[in-house]
Amino acid sequence: MDIWNYLEIAAWVISAIIAGIMLLDMIKVDTTYDNELLTSSREGELELTQERHEL
Amino acid sequence: MSNVSATAAPERLGLLRVLGPGHVWALGVGIVLVGEYMGWNFSVGKGGMIAGLVACWVAGLLYTCVAMIDSEVTSTVAAAGGQYAQAKHIVGPLMAFNVGLFLVMAYTMLEAANAITIGFLLDTVAGMLGHTGLNQQPFIIMTILALAYLNYRGVLASLSFNLVITAFAFVAIILLFLAVQFGASAVPLDFSAVSNEPLPYGWLGIVAALHFGLWYYLGIEGTCQAAEEVRSPARSLPFGTMAGIMTLVIAATLTWYVCSGLIPWEYLGQAGTPLFDAARVTGSSSLMVLLFIGTVFATTASANGCINDASRAWFSMGRDRYLPSWFGAVHPRYRTPYRSIVFLIPIALIFALGAPLDQVVTFSILSGLLGYTFMTFNMVMFRKKWPLGTIKRGYVHPWHPLPAFVLLVLCAATYFAVFLGYGTQLIAMLCFYILASLWFHFWRYRFVKRGDQFTMPWPRPQGY
């Protein structure tokens, strides 16, 4: 076992932690908030409110 | 999340508008600059030093046309999804679906290629330090997951990170050029092959070199994906994109000059990390360390930008129900398309762990090339349907339709170049998109809310 073997193990552990954090947060958000709200984004709202395409 | 309640959230969630022109530059150049650090040099292997330089400048012309066209259309169609949103408003739903797929495939495969490269670089360093048989898999997986998490947590941090590491990688190329030019190299620049062996494979070598010439600039059009997250799209997008292509033309020319002068073209044409190898040839430890860090940073910035862009394209298609609407969700706290980011992780991992690098990159290039071809007639239709003076544009590109025509001709030449080396992949890719189009036309389009997808408050197009 040299430093590179320890780095390999560290990379596996870090990967598992990051994947766990992301999945847990995603599950938490999906169970806390209504799906209607989460998918309420609409394209082009800036144009409607600020940048009307008029000359 | 404990301090954020469902009742405190706004009624409608959208992506955060927090980016400036510097972030747009970092997104575009960040995705691309890795092409200077590796990949472009195969063009030298295909046709020699002159062919490498011609490919560099011809591809530079192609991408200048791309940047000009994109800047005009995106400054008007300022929506996440970039070229997908452009196609939806200007051409039609089937074209938009295909363009969305081109974007997702191009960026996800480029992300996978970058992760493979980071694994390769670490293996190289481990080998130089006496460790053999490094398992690259955990490093590839960690790279993709760590960058995906950065993107998950917010676009501002993600692209600010890109700005810093991209600027470092660009400055590293400039410093290498200055060091070599002012005599810091143990080996002098030697361009004798330009006169001794100008075109070792003849004129066909120049055409074949075009395929890899794209690596210098592949992905600059990704700036459009930030359209819904920049504070002033009409100003920031053209500025960031045009500054980006100028940066890349300079970086590409300096890269060709330094590498071709220091490394014999026969070796350069096969090198895995040409700029790092050029630094090794100089004999300077400082330059070696600088260019190694530059290579790692450029690769990381590219993967990071690709995650950003692929997830925005996927998110936009979900929002319009071209894909299940589940993908169109925005994180209530971080305001990112979190489901799209998470969904694309395993796809990137499958390609990064299960496919060879050259195949992954070729599929990425082909998807990008299909997207550039779309841009040509998209631009012509845009000017025809909404001529100058009918809607407000943040940028108007000059000499229309010359850039669109030049782009189309260069795309045709590049298809031929790709066909020479990777004809099977080209045909396989086209079959994939044809099958996907049939699925969309005969099944998926019934779920699309047809009236809701056209959001730009433009006047009726001419002729309708």
Residues B246-278: tens digit of each pLDDT: 999 999 999 999 999 999 999 999 988 899 999
Q: What is the pLDDT of residue B196?
A: 85
Q: What is the pLDDT of residue B457?
A: 80
Q: How far is B327 from chain A (nearest CA, A)?
A: 8
Residue with tokens 């363009």: B99
pLDDT in tens, A9-23: 999 999 999 999 999
> If you average pLDDT over residues B346-356, what whole number do you get?
93
Q: How far apart are the first and last CA of chain A?
A: 69
SS3 breakdown of chain B: % helix, strand, coil, rounded to 5?
Answer: 75, 0, 25
Domain B21-447 top-level CATH class = mainly alpha
What is the rounded distance in angstroms from the CA atom of residue B117 to the CA atom of residue B70? 29
Q: What is the pLDDT of residue B5?
A: 46
pLDDT at B391 over 50: yes
Give yes or no for a contact between B142 and A14, defined as CB atoms under 8 angstroms apart: yes
Phi-psi region of B69 (alpha: psi -120 to 50; beta: other; left: phi over 0): alpha
| Chain B residue with the nearest C-alpha to that of A25 | B1
What is the rounded distance in angstroms from the CA atom of residue B402 to the CA atom of residue B358? 33
Cβ contacts of B206 within 8 Å, gap of 6 or more: B47, B50, B51, B54, B55, B199
- Mean pLDDT is lowest, of A39-43, B102-106, B431-435, for A39-43
pLDDT at A35 over 90: yes
The first and second tokens of residue A22, run together, are 């992301």
pLDDT at B3 over 60: no
How many domains would you assign to chain A?
1
* CA neighbor of B137 nearest in space, from B358, B349, B295: B349
Four-point Cα dihedral B341, B344, B350, B351, nearest 10: -100
What's the mean per-residue pLDDT of chain B?
A: 91
Q: How far is A27 from chain B (nearest CA, A)?
A: 10
pLDDT in tens, B192-229: 888 888 888 888 889 889 888 888 998 899 999 999 99
> If you average pLDDT over residues B111-138, what whole number do you get?
92
Q: What is the pLDDT of residue A46?
A: 55
Q: How far is A1 from chain B (nearest CA, A)?
A: 10
Are B329 and A8 inside 8 Å of each other by CB?
Answer: no
pLDDT at A51 over 80: no
pLDDT in tens, B44-97: 998 999 999 999 999 999 899 999 999 999 888 888 889 999 999 999 999 999
What is the rounded distance in angstroms from the CA atom of residue A5 to the CA atom of residue B447? 51
pLDDT at A48 over 50: no
What is the rounded distance in angstroms from the CA atom of residue A51 to the CA atom of residue B185? 54
pLDDT band (50, 70, 90) for residue B10? low
pLDDT band (50, 70, 90) for residue B11? confident
Residue with tokens 């040299």: A2
Whole-model pTM: value is: 0.92
Q: What is the pLDDT of residue B456?
A: 81
User: What percent of chain B stands above pLDDT 90?
Assistant: 69
Q: Which domain holds residue A9?
A: 3-49
pLDDT band (50, 70, 90) for residue A45? low
pLDDT at A38 over 90: yes
What is the rounded distance in angstroms from the CA atom of residue B163 to the CA atom of residue B27? 8
What is the rounded distance in angstroms from the CA atom of residue B332 to the CA atom of residue B320? 19
What is the rounded distance in angstroms from the CA atom of residue B372 to the CA atom of residue B139? 33
| Chain A residue with the nearest C-alpha to that of B80 | A43
Q: What is the pLDDT of residue B215?
A: 86
Q: Bridge-partner residues for B391, per DSSP?
A: B388
Are B1 and A11 inside 8 Å of each other by CB?
Answer: no
- Mean pLDDT is lowest, of B1-15, B100-114, B222-236, B429-443, for B1-15
User: Around Cβ A30, how many Cβ atoms within 10 Å?
Assistant: 15
Give yes or no for a contact between B213 and B43, defined as CB atoms under 8 angstroms apart: yes
Q: What is the pLDDT of residue B102?
A: 95
Q: What is the pLDDT of residue B2?
A: 41
Interface of B with A in 216-235 (CB under 8 A): 228, 233-234
Q: Domain residue spans in chain B?
A: 21-447
User: What percent of chain B stands above pLDDT 70?
Assistant: 98
Q: What is the pLDDT of residue B201?
A: 87
pLDDT in tens, B273-317: 899 999 999 999 999 999 999 999 999 999 999 999 999 999 999
Q: What is the pLDDT of residue A49?
A: 47
Q: What is the pLDDT of residue B4?
A: 46
User: Around Cβ B197, how many Cβ atoms within 10 Å?
Assistant: 14
What is the rounded distance in angstroms from the CA atom of residue B269 to the CA atom of residue B55? 13
Looking at the complex, does the CB of residue B111 fall below 8 Å from at least one CB of chain A?
A: no
Environment class of B433 (CB within 10 Å of its CB; exposed 0-12, middle 13-18, buried 19+) = middle
**Backbone dihedral angles phi then psi of residue B347, each to the nearest 5 degrees:** -65, -45
Q: What is the pLDDT of residue B458?
A: 84
Chain B positions in Cβ-Cβ contact with residue A53 (cut-off 8 Å): 76, 391-392, 456-458
User: Around Cβ B194, how many Cβ atoms within 10 Å?
Assistant: 15
| Chain A residue with the nearest C-alpha to that of B386 | A53
> In this structure, is residue A54 part of a structural domain?
no
Indicate the SS3 state at residue B388: strand
Residue type, B411: C
